[in-house]
Amino acid sequence: MMEDVRRELLKHLEGLTQEELDTPLDGNATTIGALLYHIADVETGWLHFDMFLQKELDPEIAAWFTAPTRNEDGEIWCPAGERPERHLERLAVVRRDFLDKLRGIDSEDWRRFRSLPGEYDVTPEWIVYHLIEHEAHHRGQIFRMLGTMRRREKK
């Protein structure tokens, strides 16, 4: 299911331009690039910190996250200028890491609770569900933003 959501996202991103990636719409600081960065960041955070209870990201993954994912107002944000290919590569690296690590979880561990201090308890099963829902939500935002930009471009 995670791969199905991603497949649809990538299909709609074909031909994505730098301008489409970096242009905020209607006074909102969040760009398509920021949403792509955020999707990857959340996926890797849930994997490393919540599913495997690590204190920090694996170094090869941390290298993909050099900027904050929110601005001073708390809006989803990332610096402009990173090429579309780099965003897509980050999504691919994070997904590969997620699926590789998920293969090590057996059926018993799939439903074993992890206690997140000060938050709530989660299972790998719930984390995967949450990530599917999260990416599908932001995918819809991206599709709307792309549609709006491309309609304006035609006028």
Domain count, the chain: 1
Residue 152 banded pLDDT, cuts 50, 70, 90: confident
Q: What is the CATH number of the domain that holds 138?
A: 1.20.120.450
Residue 49 pLDDT: 94
Q: What is the DSSP letter of 76?
A: B
Q: Which helix (H) or strand (E) holds 121?
A: strand 121-122
Tell me the percentage of the chain whose pLDDT exceeds 70.
100
Whole-model pTM: value is: 0.94
Backbone angles phi and psi of 75, in degrees to 5: -80, 150
Note down the domain range covering 25.
2-154
Residue 146 pLDDT: 95
- What is the Cα–Cα distance from 148 to 97, expressed in whole angstroms? 33
Residue 122, number of CB atoms within 10 A of its CB: 17
- What is the Cα–Cα distance from 41 to 35, expressed in whole angstroms? 10
Q: What is the tens place of the pLDDT at every residue in 40-85?
A: 999 999 999 999 999 999 999 999 999 999 999 999 999 999 999 9
Q: What is the tens place of the pLDDT at every residue in 11-39?
A: 999 999 999 999 998 888 899 999 999 99
User: Do 138 and 87 touch, CB atoms closer than 8 A?
Assistant: no
Backbone angles phi and psi of 123, in degrees to 5: -115, 160
